[in-house]
Chain A
Amino acid sequence: MNPHRKIGDVILQAEAISLSFGGVKALTNISLEVREHEVLSIIGPNGAGKSSMLNVINGVYHPQQGRVIYRGEARSKMRPHEAARQGIARTFQNIALFKGMSVLDNIMTGRNLKMRSNFIQQALYWGRTQREEIANREQVEKIIDFLEIQHIRKTPVGRLPYGLQKRVELARALAAEPTLLLLDEPMAGMNVEEKQDMCRFILDVNDEFGTTIVLIEHDMGVVMDISDRVVVLDYGKKIGDGTPDEIRGNADVIAAYLGTAH
Chain B
Amino acid sequence: MAKPETVRPAIAHGHTADTFPKLLLAHAQQRGARPAMREKDLGIWQTWSWQEVAAEVRALALGLASKGFKRGDRLAVIGDNRPRLYMAIMAAQCLGGVPVPLYQDSAAEEMVFVLSDAEVAMAVVEDQEQVDKLLEIRDRLPTLQAIVYDDARGLRHYQHSGLYDIAEILGAGRVQHDEHPQLFQNMVDLGRGSDPAIMLYTSGTTGHPKGVLHTNDSMIITARNAANLEGLTEHEEVLAYLPMAWVGDNLFSYAQSMVTGFCVSCPESSDTVMTDMREIGPTYYFAPPRVYENLLTQVMIRMEDAGRLKYRMFHYFMDHARRVGTAILEGKPVGFWDRVGYKLGELLVYGPVKNVLGFTRLKLAYTAGEAIGPELFDFYRALGVNIKQLYGQTEAYVMVCVHPNDKVKPDTVGVPVPGVEVKIADSGEVLFRGPGTFHSYWKRDDATAETRNSEGWVHSGDAGFFDEDGHLKIIDRAKDVGRMNCGSLFAPKYLENKLKFFQQIKEVVAFGDGCDYATAFINIDLIAVGNWAEKRGLAYTGYTDLAGQEPVYELIRECIEKMNADLATDPRLAGSQIRRFLILHKELDADDGELTRTRKVRRKFIAERYAPLIAALNSDARDCTIDAQVKFEDGRSGNIRATVKIRDAKTFPATAKEAA
In Å, the complex CA distance between A4 and B160 comes to: 13
**A150 touches which of B156, B269, B633, B634 (Cβ 8 Å):** B269
Whether A196 sits at the interface, judged by CB under 8 Å, is yes
Known contacts A150-B269, A150-B272; A208/B634 CB under 8 A: no
B153 contacts A by Cβ under 8 Å: yes
CA of A5 to CA of B269, assembled, Å = 29
Distance in angstroms between the alpha carbons of A146 and B152 in the assembled complex: 12
A193 touches B633 (CB 8 A): yes
Q: Which applies to chain A's interface (DSSP): helix, strand, loop or mixed?
A: helix
Give the contacting residue for A208; candidates B42, B43, B153; CB below 8 A.
B153
- Mask: chain B, 259-270; 1 = CB below 8 Å from A; 0 = not: 000000000110
List of B residues within 8 angstroms of A151 by Cβ: 268-269, 271-272, 275
Is A252's beta carbon under 8 Å from chain B? no
- Which of B42, B157, B269 has a CB less than 8 Å from the CB of A142? B42
* Residues of chain A contacted by B231 (CB below 8 angstroms): none
In A186-212, the 8 Å CB interface with B consists of 192-193, 196, 204, 207-208
State whether the Cβ of A246 lies closer than 8 Å to any Cβ in chain B: no
B632 close to chain A: CB less than 8 A? yes
Q: Is the CB of A141 within 8 A of B634?
A: no
Q: State how many angstroms separate the Cβ of A256 from the closest Cβ of chain B.
A: 30
A148 within 8 A of B: yes
B11-35 to A contact mask, C-beta < 8 Å, 1/0: 0000000000000000000000000
Q: List residues 160-206 of chain A with CB under 8 A from any CB of chain B.
A: 192-193, 196, 204
Flag if A138 contacts B154 (CB, 8 Å).
Answer: no
Assess whether B43 is in contact with A148, with CB atoms less than 8 Å apart: no
> Closest residue of chain A to B272, judged by CB?
A151
Closest to A193 in B: B633
Q: Mark A135-155, 1 if CB is under 8 A from B, else 0.
A: 001100110111010110110
- B43: A residues at CB distance < 8 A: 137, 141, 144, 150, 153
CB < 8 Å neighbour of B42 from A138, A148, A154, A193: A138
Q: Which residue of B154, B156, B269, B634 is within 8 Å of A148 (Cβ)?
A: B269
Whether A192 lies near B632 (C-beta < 8 A) is yes
Set of chain A residues within 8 Å of B634, measured between Cβ atoms: 192-193, 196
Known interface pairs A145-B42, A192-B632; A2-B157 also in contact (CB < 8 Å) = yes
Chain B residues with CB under 8 A of A150: 40, 43, 268-269, 271-272
B159 to A, closest residue via Cβ = A4
Report B356 CB to chain A, min CB distance, Å: 14
What residue in chain B is nearest A5 (Cβ atoms)? B157
A193 vs B633: C-alpha distance when bound (angstroms): 7
Measured between beta carbons, the chain B residues less than 8 angstroms from A196 are 634
The CA-CA distance from A240 to B376 in the complex, in Å, is 64
Inter-chain CA distance A142–B44, complex, in Å, is 12
Question: Which has the most chain B C-beta neighbours within 10 Å: A137, A138, A151?
Answer: A151
User: What is the distance, in angstroms, from A216's C-beta to the closest C-beta of chain B?
Assistant: 24
B605-640 interface bits toward A, Cβ cutoff 8 Å, 1 = contact, 0 = none = 000000000000000000000000000111000000
What is the distance, in angstroms, from B290's C-beta to the closest C-beta of chain A? Answer: 19
Among residues of B, the one whose C-beta sits closest to the C-beta of A196 is: B634
Contacts of B275 in A (CB 8 A): 151, 154
Cβ 8 A contact of B154, one of A141, A144, A192, A208? A208
Q: How far is the CA of A126 from the CA of B268 in the complex (A)?
A: 30
Determine the chain A residues whose CB is within 8 A of the CB of B157 once the complex forms.
Answer: 2, 4-5, 207
- B151 — nearest CB in chain A belongs to which residue? A145
**Which chain B residues lie closer than 8 Å to A146 at the CB level?**
153
**Per-residue A-contact encoding for B506-547, CB less than 8 Å = 1, 0 else:** 000000000000000000000000000000000000000000
Contacts of A193 in B (CB 8 A): 632-634
Contacts of A154 in B (CB 8 A): 275
Interface string of B124-159 (1 = CB under 8 A from A): 000000000000000000000000000001101100
Question: Shortest CB–CB separation between residue A143 and chain B, in angstroms?
Answer: 10
Nearest CB of chain B from residue A169's CB, rounded to whole Å: 19
Chain A residue nearest in CB terms to B275? A151
- A175 to chain B minimum Cβ distance, whole angstroms, is 14
User: Which residue on A lies nearest to B632, using beta carbons?
Assistant: A192
A171: min CB distance to chain B, Å: 14
Residues of A contacting B271 with CB < 8 Å? 150-151
Q: Measured between alpha carbons, how far is A148 from B634 in the docked complex, in Å?
A: 18
Chain A, residue nearest B43 (CB): A141
**Chain B neighbourhood of A145, CB < 8 A:** 42
**Separation of A151 and B271 alpha carbons in the complex (Å):** 5
Residues of A within 8 A of B42 (CB): 138, 141-142, 145
Residue of B nearest to A139 (CB): B42
Nearest residue (CB) in B for A148 is B269
> Which of chain B's residues 627-660 have a Cβ closer than 8 Å to chain A?
632-634
The CA of A5 and the CA of B271, in the complex, are separated in Å by: 32
CB distance from A12 to the nearest CB of B (A): 25
Q: Which chain B residue lies CB-closest to A3?
A: B157
List chain B residues, Cβ under 8 A from A138: 42
Provide the B394-427 mask, 1 if CB < 8 A to any CB of A, else 0: 0000000000000000000000000000000000
Residues of B near A192 (CB, < 8 A) are 632, 634
Least CB distance, A211 to chain B, in whole angstroms: 15
Within 8 A of B (CB), among A93-148: 137-138, 141-142, 144-146, 148
**Complex CA–CA separation, A208 to B269 (angstroms):** 21
A204 to B154, CA, bound (A): 7
Which chain A residue shows the least CB distance to B40? A150
C-alpha gap A115/B36 in the complex (Å): 38
Distance in angstroms between the alpha carbons of A207 and B154 in the assembled complex = 8
Interface string of B153-196 (1 = CB under 8 A from A): 11011000000000000000000000000000000000000000
With A150-B268, A151-B269, A193-B634 known, 20 other A-B pairs at CB within 8 A are A2-B157, A138-B42, A141-B42, A141-B43, A142-B42, A144-B43, A146-B153, A148-B269, A150-B40, A150-B272, A151-B272, A151-B275, A192-B634, A196-B634, A204-B153, A204-B154, A207-B154, A207-B157, A208-B153, A208-B156
A-B contact pairs, 6 of them (CB 8 A): A2-B157, A141-B43, A151-B269, A151-B275, A204-B153, A208-B154
